Structure 1
């Protein structure tokens, strides 16, 4: 049996016909609901989300901007934005800030359903990029790391930081190098932001027994991925 596509629907109006959404749930698509995504960044990611559906209804332009940019910062799932017909002139703005597909809110859900199913079918045939060493497996498709057979889902920046450190294990990567890699900035190093990403990443790795030793802080310099024979014995 093929796995269901995971869809999170954001800002569902109280008077919205949820029967339309239940039809999605019965067609190989598993749906959940959220009032907003902005605060979700503080919570551990428990599963990879394939699609986000944002219903523009009564959201301001700034609220839509904040939701989309928050998702883009942490996730790789496609973003569908459902808009009122009179707001279509804002389509270019929404595309520029990260929405992938703009759909009129009165479009038939059959159209939306088959768009997602067809895109999901393409994903199945895409080659998943796996980066492996003798202890970690990094999966670019769902932003996860697997250690000793246990998979943990990461945010976009957590995953990218781990991938950077994994390129040269046991070698310190400086704050400046991390800063340039994550944000493409050379002028100001965001040490506090990097430390926050590392803190959250360590917290997630603690879910796997024996994996809390991987991220090493090199005082005043940066961070290192600790891959050693001793580490292998612990796993």
Structure 2
């Protein structure tokens, strides 16, 4: 049996919500909508959508801020709708958790094509979503790490750092390489950002962040993720 995808629509314009919902139903999707960020956050928890269509400017609220908050609870693709065409707005929307940006007035057919493309990408990614190491499993779909049976959710940058180190497990990776892979640009010798994010990552996955057993700092070289913690190695 094929799973029916669930689409969540967040827009303060009831007419827009109804249009998107009609087209979603034509595609066989289950949909639900909300007109405010507060309502939408409650709906997010109960509805558990596979994809979210989100207005950039909600009434008295900022959709981009809502997106940033929602990323703590979901990794579902977020497609922004907006009448704003400025590059700065688009860049902010895509930089702070958005996956796509569609300007109003929009073609419902084009929006549906984008929604289906993102759902295909997510579905194909689920087939190869886990990277398992001794005592540590990375879930690429949920952007989380599973340790001792507990799921720990990470930010996009934290997960990017951890996943790159996991793909180079037991090998030293330089701060410059981590910065370039995670931020998509040259570090210009300012690697303090990497150190801050590594520190935050350790707080989430290390039993004692001050004495790490997973992510080691290799002075003058970078960082190394070990396949087994020092504690495990001693037992």
Interval of TM-score (by shorter of Structure 1 and Structure 2):
0.5 to 0.7
Aligned partner of 2:74 in structure 1 is 47
Deviates more, 1:17-26 or 1:189-198: 17-26
Residue 132 of structure 1: CA displacement? 1.8
Alignment of 1:45-84 (within 5 A): 45-50=72-77, 52-58=78-84, 60-71=86-97, 78-84=99-105
RMSD, matched Cα: 4.1
What is the correspondence of 1:55-204 to structure 2 with a 5 Å cutoff? 55-58=81-84, 60-71=86-97, 78-84=99-105, 104=106, 107=108, 112=111, 116=115, 120=119, 123-125=122-124, 127-183=127-183, 188-204=188-204
Q: Per the alignment, in what secondary structure is the counterpart of residue 96 of structure 2?
A: helix
Equivalent position SS for 1:216: strand
- Alignment partners' CA distance in 2, 1:169 and 1:124: 27
Question: More displaced, 179-188 or 192-201?
Answer: 179-188
Structure 1 segments (4+ residues) deviating >6 Å: none
Inter-partner Cα distance in structure 2 for 1:185 and 1:132: 28
Tell me: CA distance 1:205–1:32, structure 2 relative to 1, closer, same or farther (3 Å).
Answer: farther
Is the deviation greater in 215-224 or in 25-34? 25-34
Note the C-alpha offset of 1:194.
0.7
Aligned residues: 201
Report the secondary structure of 1:173's partner residue: coil
- Once the two structures are TM-superposed, the CA of residue 49 in structure 1 deviates from its matched residue by 1.5
**Cα distance, 1:18 vs. partner?**
3.5
Determine helix, strand or coil for the equivalent of 1:37: helix
TM-score, normalised via structure 1 length: 0.61
Give the whole-Å Cα distance in 2 for the aligned partners of 1:135 and 1:142: 18
Consecutive unaligned residues in structure 2, runs of 5 or more: 32-48, 56-61
Q: Which structure would you say has the larger RCO, counting Cα contacts within 8 Å and 6 or more residues apart?
A: 1
Specify every segment of 5 or more residues in structure 1 that has no aligned partner in the other structure, as ranges: 73-77, 85-103
Residue pair 1:132, 1:138 contacting (<8 A) in 2 also: yes
* Equivalent residue number for residue 101 of structure 1: none
Deviates more, 1:116-125 or 1:153-162: 116-125
Q: State the secondary structure of the residue aligned to 1:224.
A: strand
State TM-score, norm by structure 2.
0.61
d(CA) in 1 for partners of 2:202, 2:69: 14
Q: CA offset at residue 232 of structure 1?
A: 3.9
Residues 3, 178 of structure 1: alpha-carbon distance in 2 compared, 3 angstrom cutoff: same
Tell me by how many angstroms 1:120 deviates: 2.5
Residue equivalent to 1:100: none
